[in-house]
Structure 1
Amino acid sequence: MSNAMVWAEDHLTVLAGRLDGNRYLTAVKNSFIGAMSLLIIGSFFILLAYLPIGGYTDFMAGTFGSDWQSFFTIPYNVTMGAMTLWVVIGIANSLSESYKLDRMACILAALVSFLVLTPTEVLVGSGGTGLPLANLSANGLFLGMIVAVAAVEILRFVDHRGWTIKMPASVPSNVAKSFSSLIPIAVLLVLFNVVRMLFTVTEYHDAQTFIFALLQSPLTALGATLPATLLASFVESALWIFGIHGGNIVGGIMTPIWLSLTSENATALAAGHTLPNIVDYQFYMNFVKVGGSGATFGLVLLLVFLAKSKQFRTIGKLAIGPEIFTINEPIIFGIPVVLNPILIIPFVLTPLVLCVVAWVSMATGIVPLTNGVNIPWTTPPIISGFLVSGWQGATLNVVQIVISALIYFPFFKVADRIALGKELAAEAEITAEASLGKPTQVAAA
């Protein structure tokens, strides 16, 4: 290995370790992982409300009445449509474990702090006020993440200084915990209510509008661009080359942005509007990482059907099952791709090419934009393309798999030839030793 490669590996490992070990990024990542089941199941309900099947809408309306879509939009609204609530809970839960604080106190503190800063609306006809559901969805996502971190940090600050009510040992622990949280929660409510009051005299009127305008909107606009997506893909692949889990690093930073864009598409679909975003979470997971990081689905097919070396054929047969479900660690570490000077180029290049192909296909209208339905990342290619972009998406996945195989092919042939040469050399050595009457060396079990 060259000195440059060693230097790059050392520095990337340190940087990736710091990012992966950052408690705030970890909390954000864990919160989305924890909420993913809700987001996936909830987003399927919006698909049921707007299935693009001829006669479906008329049948449902004739059977259940004109309000039939509420059967599906309500479950969507309380899951994907209220995603910020579940992310706030997840962040507070993760940080409470990191700081060894009372879990319930942290979750309640984060939730109440977020709700204090969430703008309300006057309900037409009743004169009362309510929380618009849109403010609990992607619109409030960045505010929720910031407030959840700030609330737990303030709670930790108050707790470490002993500003709590100490109960006698005879008091049950659950009652003592409740009283110990009184002062920290009171401090939080006062602080965040003051913040809310201060924002009312600004041009933004509330914290959510301020965060959305100055932070969330620019970041999502940037994350929705082709260059930003290409950069994310390049960084993910580059990290994997050195054995660092690039998906975890990039996902911890980009997932909130991409899921926000996914939510915008789902909201537009529900409202009957034109879908606004080409790039979102499902675009990246299903049309860039076809087969996982490095878009290795085509490579696995080459291993299974064209490999001449026993090693590559065996790896291909073992890897094809997981690869169907976009799990490609057997390839990354089995060939290996890690620190492999031959396969580095296609591993980085292939997802970049697939990203451009998918983006152009959707920008030109050949393939519909992703519909905002969150599907599990383990959904097999072609099926995943169909679920998020119809039959055109499935066709695009087929084309992408072919492109992946074509890009990997010349590099695969070189690597396979080298592996075959080593196997033939080893067999020739064993044959030569046997012909000379020398015992063949067998590794100890």
Structure 2
Amino acid sequence: MEKLIKMVETLKPMFEKVSNNIYLRAIRDGFVSCIPVILFSSLFILVACVPEIFDYKWPESISSVLWQAYNYSMGMLGILMVATIAKSLTDSINTKMPKLRQINDVSVMIVSIICLLLLAVAPVEGGISTEFMGTKGLLSAFVVAFTVPNIYKFFVKRNITIKLPDEVPHYIAQTFADLIPLSVAVLVYWIFGIVFKETTGMMFGAWVLEVFKPLFVAADGYIGVAIIYGAMAMFWFMGIHGPSIVEPAVTAIYIANIEANLQIVSNGGHAVNILTHPTSYFVATIGGTGATLMFCAMCAFIAKSKQLRAVGRASIIPVTFAVNEPILFGAPIVLNPVLFFPFILAPIFNVWIFKFFVDTLGMNSFTYILPWTTPAPIGLIIGTGFAKLAFVLAPLLLLVDAVLYYPFFRVYDAQLVEKEKAGIETEEETVTEAVENVGAPAVAAAELPQEEKRVLVLCASGATSSMLAKAITKGAEERHAPVESIAMAYGQHKDIITDFDLVVLAPQMASMYDELKTDCEAKGVKSATTSGREYVGLTRDPEKALDFALALMAH
């Protein structure tokens, strides 16, 4: 087992490079920006469809209004994502461009929308078809969003532009500066779209969907879901945020499948598509990546080790809402050879059982998207439209996870008990020591800043980071310090860095720290990251969390 862990650790640098890939990050950032739209539209569908489960049907006038809200939000998702992905990619490209020669991200967003319409949307009598403006247009959106910023980069980097006299105001000059890359991008997609349709007889949007359909089917099989959810857990075991690497590659499948399932159920059919965001949220990752809810419950309520009992009780509430970094770094699970097998296998077994219920027992797969922080059993039941078998599946998955984790939990608990009896320092003591020695001198109450200070904490989704942000805020309130702290997902901070005095990066995103540090230094803002154990310790102690932030801002 030790050899296996060492082998896994040797692969970590390679996977960190993958996690830093600007194209995967652009998809992730684009999706994060569109999550409110997806949840908003799903709310209307829940209201429109769930009553039918209980044999109540809305009048046609009300039903059409509810579906209208869905069609003009989720039905435009391709348009929205091509713009947000293109902007994220442009922001990443701009970090390596000369400061006085930056790509106009607003122009890129506008042109990307135009190019997607040229590539994937067909004209019909009286207007245009909206079929590929929504989820069916996501693959085309990726193609456009990846290429348009690079077309701009080619011209802007070489300063190929229309130059106007110095007397012309900057905002007018910028308009003409964007004209050449704008024109080239639109012309390229206009000509390509025409030639492609004449050659193949299909719009590119429809063609690319057909080409990737076998991949969608393969990914939805037993082997496909095992690879996807096993990979997420493997990355997290190495301390790298797994979903941020894997999910961008399958986001198009997730969204297309949930839309297809909804249409199937609406037409009275059986929803069979397995790979969806709710499958990840409420089946594979019950209690967070690795399906750690039952392991955390064991730690909290039956562990004999002081360390596991303390970590479990401190983590059980956030883990219930799928925020499991406290148990991942506090137990720890990350790079812990004893817990390797259940951490990898529990998500895979969960999805396999779910697929069996759908394929063999006839249960509908997910048709509705709920916030990922919804407790898994509740999300499973509501997301499948209150399927009767979901009431059986939810407790069964918890039981399976408990059975998988229990023998390994007992071994690890016994190891820690022996260490505690022998007086050997445990992880819990190490956490405490780390908090007391955060690498910068503690700041006494008398040294509190006179002016208001702002701290931003970043992680992959804004959930883990909110724990430290709240701890800093609580510490500031207790000490009456003029310090405010908020949390965001990485990528959302780029335009507002100068609004903060300190930016802290959560440990699972440590591979992004070099980029963050460069961005912060360019704008005169302090930045920092932490180890997993140190981070967990800080989230538990508001006063130490405040001292940590103040010490960094003072240096």
TM-score under structure 1 length normalisation: 0.88
Alignment-mate amino acid for residue 117 of structure 1: L
Unaligned runs of 5+ in 2: 95-102, 425-434, 438-555
For 1:191 and 1:444, how far apart are their aligned partners in 2?
Answer: 59
Q: 1:176 aligns with which of 173, 184, 188?
A: 173
Equivalent residues in 2 for 1:40-189 (5 A)?
A: 40-51=39-50, 52-57=52-57, 60-61=58-59, 66-100=60-94, 101-123=103-125, 128-130=126-128, 132-189=129-186
C-alpha distance in 2, partners of 1:257/1:387? 21
Provide the residue aligned with 2:473 in structure 1. Answer: none
Please give the per-residue CA displacement for 1:244-294, whole angstroms capped at 9, x wherever unaligned: 222211112222222221122123344444424133222232111111111
Equivalent residues, number = 417
Secondary structure at the residue paired with 2:198? coil
Cα separation, 1, equivalents of 2:331 and 2:352: 27
Question: Does structure 2 retain, via aligned residues, the 8 Å contact 1:309–1:417?
Answer: yes
Distance 1:55 1:273, change over 3 A: closer
- Taking the aligned partners of 2:171 and 2:214, their CA distance within structure 1 comes to 44
Structure 2 counterpart of 1:376, from 361, 371, 382: 371
Residue matched to 2:261: 265
What displacement does 1:210 show? Answer: 2.1
- Kindly indicate whether the alpha-carbon contact (under 8 Å) linking 1:311 and 1:419 is maintained by their aligned counterparts in 2: yes
Residue type matched to 2:9 in 1?
E
Equivalent in the alignment of 2:359:
363
1:378-417 equivalences in 2 (<5 Å) = 378-389=373-384, 390=386, 392-417=389-414
Q: Is the Cα contact below 8 Å between 2:31 and 2:81 reproduced in 1?
A: yes
Cα distance 1:337–1:54, how it changes in 2: closer, same or farther (>3 A)? closer
Partner of 1:300: 296
**Aligned-partner residue type, residue 187 of structure 1:** V
Q: Distance in 1 between matches of 2:202 and 2:408?
A: 58
Q: How does 1:239-258 map to 2 (within 5 A)?
A: 239-258=235-254
Distance 1:209 1:278, change over 3 A: same
Cα distance, 1:403 vs. partner? Answer: 1.5
Q: 1 CA distance for matches of 2:175 and 2:30? A: 25
How many Å separate the matches in 2 of 1:412 and 1:347? 11
Query: 1:9 aligns to what?
Result: 9
Q: In the superposition, relative to structure 1, how do residues 90 and 271 fare at CA in structure 2: closer, same or farther (>3 Å)? A: farther
* 1:34 corresponds to: 33
Cα deviation digits, residues 157-183 of structure 1 (max 9, x gap): 122232222233433332222221112
| 313-322 or 241-250: bigger deviation | 241-250
Matches of 2:330 and 2:165 in 1, distance apart? Answer: 59
Q: Is the 8 A contact 2:294 2:401 kept in 1?
A: yes
Match for 2:375: what amino acid?
P
Using the TM superposition, give the Cα deviation of residue 351 of structure 1 relative to its aligned residue in structure 2, in angstroms: 1.3
Deviation at 1:72, TM superposition (A): 1.2
- The answer to whether the 8 A contact 1:109-1:152 is kept is no
SS state at 1:188 partner:
helix
Q: Quick check: 2:120–2:206 contact (8 Å CA) kept in 1? A: no
Q: CA deviation at 1:78?
A: 1.7
CA deviation profile, 1:363-396 (whole Å, cap 9, x unmatched): 123532211x111111111110121121532442
- Whether the aligned pair in 1 keeps the contact of 2:2 and 2:337 (CA below 8 Å) is no
Identity, in percent, stands at 28
Unaligned runs of 5+ in 1: 428-442
Map of 2:199 onto structure 1: 202
State the AA in 2 paired with 1:49.
Answer: A
**What SS class does the counterpart of residue 199 from structure 2 fall into?**
coil
How far the C-alpha of 1:359 sits from its partner, in A, is 0.9
Q: 1:201 to 1:335 in 2, by over 3 A?
A: same
Structure 2 CA distance for partners of 1:276 and 1:412, relative to 1, 3 Å? closer
CA distance 1:139–1:259, shift in 2 (3 Å): same
- Aligned partner letter, 2:120: T
Given the two structures, how large is their TM-score scaled by the length of structure 2?
0.71
Indicate how the Cα distance of structure 1 residues 265 and 366 shifts in structure 2: closer, same or farther if over 3 A, else same: closer
Distance, in Å, in 2 between the alignment partners of 1:421 and 1:254 is 44
Name whichever of 200-209 and 135-144 sits farther off.
Answer: 200-209
Q: Which has the higher contact order (CA 8 A, sep 6+)?
A: 1
Q: What is the CA distance between 1:121 and its match in structure 2?
A: 4.1
Measured in 1, the distance between the counterparts of 2:360 and 2:436 equals 61
1:346 matched to which residue of 2? 342
SS at match of 1:136: coil
| Aligned counterparts of 2:137 and 2:74: Cα–Cα separation in 1 | 13
Matches within 5 A, 1:414-429: 414-426=411-423
1:40-69 per-position Cα deviation (integer Å, ceiling 9, x unaligned): 111221221112343531xx31xxxx2321
1:219 lines up with 2:215 in the alignment: yes
Task: Indicate if the aligned counterparts of 2:288 and 2:322 stay in contact, CA closer than 8 A.
Answer: yes
Distance in 2, Cα, partners of 1:292 & 1:259: 20
CA–CA distance in structure 2, aligned partners of residues 309 and 420 of structure 1: 5
